Structure 1
Amino acid sequence: MERLRTSEIIDNIRNFRTFKGISESEGFYIEVESYVPYMGGAIHAGHKLREEIRSKCILSEFERWQEEDPYTDTFIKNFPIKIIALDSRYEYDLNRDKDSCIYEDAWGKKVWNTELTEEEKEGSLAKYNEFYSVVEELLKALEFMYEKIYVYDIHSYNHKRDAYAGRNLPLFNLGTTELPRDIFSKDIDKFLGLLSKMEIEGHENYTAENDIFKGKGQFLKFITEISSQTITYALEIKKVFCDENSGEHYEEIINNLEEEFNKIVENHTKELPEEFSIHFLNNFGEKIEDLSYGEAEKICSLVTENYRKSNEGEYSKDEIEKLVSTRTPEAIIERSKKGLLIYFKNKMDEVVACGSIAMRDGNPEAKLLNVGKNYRGRGFAQKICDLREKFLKELGFNKVYIESLKFENTIKFHSKRGFFPIQTDRKLKYTVFMCKEL
């Protein structure tokens, strides 16, 4: 499996690239197959201890395994976005805050035969920080695309402890005490309802909210603090899929849980916004990325339809066709070779919005901003403008220009974004030249 530096992972996320790999420190696995509005996390699925501290751990591998969450990564393995811890929680617990994430003792047992050195602790804390820096970037990317996001935070728990004797323990426990339940009650109630209907052969399904666990883990707290758009479902599954006292696992139940859980997630995520993908062609450097003719045709179709529909009544038919005549697939391909092209596609592979940056006389000009008629009012134009301007700032530009059509609403849109009309030597009939300081 490819190892990825943290900077590579973050760069992939910021540019909405799909990727998969193991983190530089080998602390976690991450996969982004597509940027959908939900993701899965299995932060206690790991079992690995790094070599330099392994000899200091008093506990046997089995004792560690008992308190980890084996197979929880299996339940989310088909999610388009997933992040899975590879290190044991006994090295650093991602569900505790940074000050308490390294155990001295746990569940009544001392963990280390010799106290870890500060250097050894720093090694573990660096991996902790690496994980959360990636989670934060991933959520920023999803927040940019969607107004609501789900994170399925999957755990498991031991149920054969003496302390639980005689109790009817839930098969599924959803912890919600740290969530603003008044805001997300509909989403939470639907998930609880779906969980309660899951059929796991040989096991009664008692589903509870805040019974044995309250949902007070750091993963949920961190996400809730940085993202008001995200609901984290901290789910504890009773370890009916293995014997916590012997280590035996039950393949049929694991498969049953995985299959049924994925079905309810598919149902639950129907409440989320329509899924989209973002595509970039950055030809500001020496390497040229080619736009396929098929993609250019889709962009061309959107642009020409917009020109014809938007300009009806404003210009004559001949004037409109003159404007449209320059928007050919070939012209779009050529333009894409000389700057930046951004476009959004829906699940049907249709281009629903696009925009570009091209250089003219040494200055960057925003071009080709178009949104499909069925997708207007949903923030696509703003998103494309945000991405274009962010890109230019990163390249060191402090101004961007635009030649805008002389429609009142179009001028108003650009003015709200900080553009203002300026003088130009160009002979403009249908457009006005504008500038924005970045």
Structure 2
Amino acid sequence: MCTVARDSGRQATMTTSGGTSDAVAFVGDWSGPVVATSVHAGHELRPDIAAAMVLDETERFREEDPHTDRIAAVVPDRVVTTRSRFEADLNRPRREAVYRRPEDCWGLEVWRDGVLSDELFEGSLETYDAFYDALAPRLDALAERGPFVLLDVHSYNHRRDGAGAPPAPASDNPEVNVGTGSLDHDLFGPLVERFMGDLRDASLGCGPLDARENVAFEGRNLAWWVHDRYPRVGCVLALEFKKTFMDEWSGELDEERLRHAQEGLAATLPGLHEELGRLR
């Protein structure tokens, strides 16, 4: 039976950051060089945003990344965010982070009056800023000790034609899309190759994962921000797990497939530590 690897030598703790405790929290002691985020896993909304929203909750859930926090949880040191991307999308540039009109979010009608008000818009930007303001000092301290990897865990839909329609072709939709569009390949290329190889290795985890690089996603704002702030030190691997671990239309979770994703990611951690050790 597959079991998710745990770091038994360290106890996971959760800490919050000042007045932003309801927006971002941190698990672990952050003493190691590998950390994880799952910034689209959240589903919560602050009350005034929830009151203004007309988007059906099922549709909202479909466009979020449910359960990616459980995949990221195989990494002892990680960020926990609970707010929905429909309040503030933490993986978009600040100017695009709040969905105000349908064209900002897959054509969906989200707001009661058609467009989000300026007041609510500013409140959502506060959520966005709180995340980056809390994350920066954590990563600053990490960067002072040398190169580090941030595993930015997401998921993506592959059945957009409808619940009864066939899924999108596997040829263009790997089980794990590894986004590396903005990282320093000259420096981190061997680390990326080791990571990809470990995901594909049938002897690790619960079997091989179909992992390919930059097929449909190359990483967005969180990766850009880390790579700009910590050149030749920070390495973000933006991971998009295909939603084979759940039914994206009904929301039903397949626990076995989720464990498969967890174990696959957990199996890459020793290799990441080895590669970072070489860089250090």
- Structure 2 match to 1:154: 153
Distance 1:186 1:214 in 2: 18
Partner amino acid for 1:155?
H
- Structure 2 match to 1:264: 268
Residue 158 (structure 1) shift:
0.6
Distance 1:34 1:22 in 2: 13
Q: Call closer, same or farther: CA 1:165–1:40 in 2, change over 3 Å.
A: closer
The total of aligned residue pairs comes to: 255
SS in 2 for 1:86: coil
Deviations 1:238-296 (A, max 9, x none): 1111000111001122123213321222332222239xxxxxxxxxxxxxxxxxxxxxx
Q: Is the 8 A contact 1:28 1:83 kept in 2?
A: yes
Distance 1:97 1:195 in 2: 29
How high is the TM-score relative to the length of structure 2? 0.84
SS in 2 for 1:110: coil
Q: Call closer, same or farther: CA 1:214–1:260 in 2, change over 3 Å.
A: closer
How high is the TM-score relative to the length of structure 1? 0.55
Distance 1:143 1:214 in 2: 23
Residue 22 (structure 1) shift:
4.0
Distance 2:16 2:144 in 1: 25
Larger radius of gyration: 1
- Structure 1 match to 2:236: 232
1:63 to 59, 66, 76: 59
Distance 2:46 2:98 in 1: 14
Matched, 1:80 2:73: no
Deviations 1:302-336 (A, max 9, x none): xxxxxxxxxxxxxxxxxxxxxxxxxxxxxxxxxxx
Identity of aligned residues (%): 33
Residue 116 (structure 1) shift:
2.6
Q: Call closer, same or farther: CA 1:119–1:221 in 2, change over 3 Å.
A: same
Q: Compare relative contact order (CA 8 Å, sep 6+) and give the higher one, 1 or 2.
A: 2
Q: Is the 8 A contact 1:172 1:238 kept in 2?
A: yes
Q: Is the 8 A contact 1:69 1:157 kept in 2?
A: yes
Distance 1:205 1:76 in 2: 16
Distance 1:126 1:96 in 2: 14
- Structure 1 match to 2:130: 130
- Higher share in strand: 1
Residue 164 (structure 1) shift:
6.4
Q: How does 1:181-192 map onto structure 2 within 5 Å?
A: 181-192=185-196
Q: Is the 8 A contact 1:38 1:81 kept in 2?
A: yes
Distance 2:217 2:96 in 1: 19
Q: How does 1:221-370 map onto structure 2 within 5 Å?
A: 221-228=224-231, 229-273=233-277
Unpaired segments ≥5 residues, structure 1: 1-17, 275-377, 379-438
Q: Is the 8 A contact 1:191 1:268 kept in 2?
A: yes
Deviations 1:16-57 (A, max 9, x none): xx9523453311221232411110011101001111111221
Distance 1:200 1:36 in 2: 21
Q: Which deviates more from structure 2 when the two are superposed, residues 99-108 or residues 230-239? A: 99-108
Residue 200 (structure 1) shift:
7.9
Q: Which deviates more from structure 2 when the two are superposed, residues 164-173 or residues 42-51? A: 164-173
SS in 1 for 2:95: helix
